[in-house]
Amino acid sequence: MKKKTVDLINEKISELEKDFSEKLQELKKELILALDSEDTQGQDGQAASDNAIDDEEYIMAPEDNIFACQQIPRGIIITGFNTLYKGGDIVIPSKIGKTPVIEVQAGAFKEKESITGVKIAKGIKIIREKAFAYCNYIEKIEIPDTVTTIEPFAFTGCNSVKEISLPSSVTSIGEKAFYHCESLRSVYIPKSVEAIGKNAFYMCNELKVYCEADSKPQAWDNDWLGVGIPTEKKLKKVLWGM
């Protein structure tokens, strides 16, 4: 067989293996969320698929815009709400009109108890420090596969959220990013996550963590689950190689 033909076959095999691996990881995430949602399906009448992350681009019409904004040459920074917001779930859009949304300002929605759910559309790369801290009534958080960094305290005190699946774009989770999320029962952490800060999941007492990595990466803080948690308790909280 000619070398060129062999190279083409090997290239095709590599493409198929990559595609299979990506689909397998998506199936793992869906299975984990489905298993953890079984207990609540009967209560709220919604299937697990209703909570699936839809990370498509979302464009908000200027006349529908519920956010206070700061426009800079690169795009729009969302700084909070304007008077159009009346409470409930929110979507952080990819664009407002034709202008891209590039960031949610640090602390933009801190202590906004009227928010019941957050969906971040495709485009945002960083969830800033304390962006949604102490939003006590947020039940759903959806993060797209453009986010790479979750800064410290980003979701601290969101004590109504029950489950989170992080996309494989995320590489860093800051200190106390999900601290004191009392109702948080499950988190999926992909192997793309290179660093997790101290106490990132501290005081999440009902939490089960599903990690794609086979063991704790070196750059994860030794106390990423919380200061002083005994080894045997950590072993019960974390499942590796998922």
Extents of the domains making up the chain: 1-49, 53-239
- pTM, two decimals, is 0.77
CB 131 within 8 A of CB 103: no
Q: Exposure pattern of 35-70 as b/e (b: 16+ CB <10 Å)?
A: ebbeeeeeeeeeebeebebebeebebeeeebbbbbe
Rounded CA-CA distance 143/221 in Å is 23
CB 142 within 8 A of CB 54: yes
* pLDDT above 60 for 33: no
- pLDDT at residue 12 in the model: 65
DSSP per-residue codes, 173-201: E-TTTTTT-TT--EEEE-TT--EE-TTTT
CATH number of the domain at 53-239, please? Answer: 3.80.10.10
List pLDDT tens digits, range 38-80.
Answer: 443 443 333 333 333 344 789 999 999 999 999 999 999 999 9
List pLDDT tens digits, range 166-183.
Answer: 999 999 999 999 999 999
Rounded CA-CA distance 80/68 in Å is 5
Is residue 163 within a helix (H) or strand (E), and if so which, with residue range?
strand 163-165
